Chains A and B, each alone.
Chain A
Amino acid sequence: MSIFKKKASCHETVSVAASGARKVALVGNPNVGKSVLFNALTGAYVTVSNYPGTSVEVARGNAVIDGVQYEVIDTPGMYSILPITEEERVAREILLNERPHLVIHVLDARNLERMLPMTLQLIEAELPLVLVVNIMDEAARLGLEIDIPELSRRLGIPVIGAATAKKVGLSEIRAAIASVHPVTAPVPRYAPELEEDLAEITELLRGEYILSRKAMALLLLQGDTEVAELVAKLEGDRYGTLEACVREKRFKRRDSFHLDLSLERKAIVQKVLDGTFRVPAVRPVTWSERLSRLTLRPITGVPLLIVVLYYGLYKFVGEFGAGTLVDLLEGKVFEEWFNPWITGVVNNLIPWEIIRELFVGEYGVITLGMRYAVGIILPIVATFFLFFSMLEDSGYFPRLALLVDRIFKKVGLTGRAVIPMVLGFGCDTMATMVTRTLETVRERVIATLLLALAIPCSAQLGVILALLSKAPGALAVWLGCLLLIFLLVGLLAARVLPGETPMFYMELPPMRLPQWSNVLTKTVSRMQWYFMEILPLFIVASVLLWLGKITHFFEKMVDAMTPVMGALGLPKETAVSFIFGFFRRDYGAAGLYDLQTKGILNPRQLTVAAVTLTLFIPCVAQFLIMKKERGWKVSLSIGLFVSTFAFGSGWVLNQVLLATGIL
């Protein structure tokens, strides 16, 4: 017996938007690429607003295809026409109330079997339908074969194979929207008993419905209260008889109707897919899966991490960004050309020495602040953000989180805290805010402490790496020290603070080659954001330093810090970098960079200064957010501990380096 039955009617009444445009609704499970398709179809003029009476957002946009204007609606994710969540309810409301000219069901080619039952429901509802089998590229990589023309023939609706993220299939989708679609899809046939029951109910339905009577009957049988209310309104006096009939059928099927129906649909899907969907006998392991496994196992994951850090951070950020680019921008552009020129201009314009100092002096806004921000920090953060965005887009970060999670658990730390730790390498301030997502107060305090102490932010990390890449061996010592301190303090904090370690679970996205457009977008965006944030701060810091200089307060501070620097084995001039570090972590690091360029620091002093400065007090913004998240008591304790610990560690490291003579 055929599983499908040709239906007699078709929908000709379609709704149009206020603008006169025909409506196209995109439906489907969450994360199947609906939004990507929506963006590809609409582009401009997108509006996002709450669906009336709900908190669910619906995006609408315009598309002009073959000279005809369409309103495209990106519906919330839905798994079935029978709604459970508010999102599904809104998605169905759109189908019911807005009478789309065309419904595009987007599904994931890799999960065809799981998602096709909803296609059956949409066919059954006699909606004008086009099926988009999306993510075909990933499916092909997994060795899955889908016979699209045969699938289309069996379902009786247009089926398009697509990879919307790579713009594959978009022209076919546009053509399908533009062409007229008489609804001729055969309706799925269930077991004879169920079909008889449905026939009895549909016989009693007399009203005009947007969904087919069979679909309405099925929803009534499944106990859909909204559909029951609608039917009661449209059927009027006849509803009593209908309700009694539905009640009787529901009682008869009370044991396992939902399960039986889903099994029936599954059986239909299997028949449709038989011969049209082929899974390889031996599933090929893709290179991304192989790489993914390698990154997760400690024995291969740790060496891989070292390779990534070496080529990404040391060679690209350290040697190229901080070497070649900074030499060019700071050394050539600023030192040789811009600074002498602007100094000459300012000297000619401003007769007062003290004001000239503000702009072009030792701590001048232009000669120091601008030079640090543009000449030193910008090329370093640009290369760092480029590398960071590439790693991010490849899907490596969650794997790194899982890899490090194992080590964390062994030393008594919570695995969940890995997320803010990884984020901290971007910006510690933001990462401190993210600690609020951790389950317990204990976890939050430990994570906040470690972020303040041993996780350098992107800019600081970039500059420190740039510094140390010029002194062989120093990088290894710096990295070793930070790792040791991180584990030691984490372990101690976990022992001292009472409480249990909760579970850590994370769903891994697939590893993939980063898309250049995405990477560049992120890099530009981060640089924009960073530059807007640092430039005013660097200028303010320069002004404060200038104030300090003219009032001689700065000299007093340097003098006060000289014994501390002496204890660390550092020259007096290093105190300036630590004073800079009060304003921003990277400002301090840039100060060190300056000292190194002048040849003031030897490799040992450079390493001690870099370790102390990395561990040193968090920047002002991070401290403020620590206070906000943890309160005065905890944040002050952390600030005090971090500062003392940083100088203590610097002293110990200097003694060890002097005694061993490693550097």
Chain B
Amino acid sequence: MRCGFCGYEFREEEGNQGCSSCPMSSGCKMIKCPRCNYENPPEPKMIKTVKKLFRRGGTPK
């Protein structure tokens, strides 16, 4: 994913998700950019699934 603030490209897993101290952490799934700490929303599961379906369909056999 690309950080909405600084434009840095990183994988969701790379994002610093160490927000356990935050009282909202249970409901919040924001992903922090490793470079500038900006919080980016993750891609909703539903959209990921739809994209994957299209990708799989688009891959030449």
Contacts and interface: CB of A to CB of B under 8 A. Distances in A.
Contact of A398 (B5, B21, B61): B5
B27 A522 contact: no
A532 B56 contact: no
Interface string A62-79: 011111000000000000
Interface stretch (A343-351, A450-458, A505-513): A505-513
Contacts of B7: 395, 398, 509-510
A171 B60 CA distance: 8
Given A524-B44, A525-B43, A64 B11 contact: no
Interface in B1-36: 2, 4-11, 13-14, 19, 21-24, 27-30, 36
Given A430-B39, A433-B22, A521-B44, A393 B6 contact: no
A555 interface: no
B3 to A, nearest CB: 8
Interface size range on A against B:
35 or more
Contacts of A521: 41, 43-44, 47
A315 B55 CA distance: 37
A43 B59 contact: yes
Contact of A525 (B6, B10, B41): B41
B7 to A, nearest CB: 2
A529 B27 contact: yes
Contact of B37 (A174, A426, A437): A437
A526 B41 contact: yes
A522 B2 CA distance: 11
A533 interface: yes
Given A392-B4, A525-B42, A64 B47 contact: no
Nearest to A433: B22
A305 interface: no
Contacts of B44: 521, 524-525, 528
A213 B25 CA distance: 53
Contacts of A64: 59, 61
A434 B18 CA distance: 12
Contacts, number: 109
B11 to A, nearest CB: 6
Contact of A419 (B11, B30, B36, B43): B36
A521 B42 CA distance: 9
Interface in A15-65: 31, 33, 35-36, 40, 43-44, 48, 57, 59, 63-65
Contacts of B39: 423, 426-427, 430, 434
Contact of B52 (A35, A43, A522): A43
A662 B46 CA distance: 50
Nearest to A36: B9
Given A57-B14, A419-B37, A174 B29 contact: no
Contact of B9 (A31, A395, A422, A434): A31
Interface string A527-561: 01100110000000000000000000000000000
A389 interface: yes
A429 B23 CA distance: 10
Given A43-B56, A398-B6, A434-B37, A48 B11 contact: yes
A48 B15 CA distance: 13
Given A419-B37, A625-B23, A44 B56 contact: yes
A50 to B, nearest CB: 10
A170 to B, nearest CB: 9
A43 B55 contact: yes
A628 interface: yes
Interface of B: 2, 4-11, 13-14, 19, 21-24, 27-30, 36-44, 47, 51-52, 55-56, 59-61
12 contacts: A31-B9, A35-B9, A35-B10, A59-B11, A171-B60, A392-B4, A430-B24, A434-B38, A624-B23, A625-B22, A628-B22, A628-B23
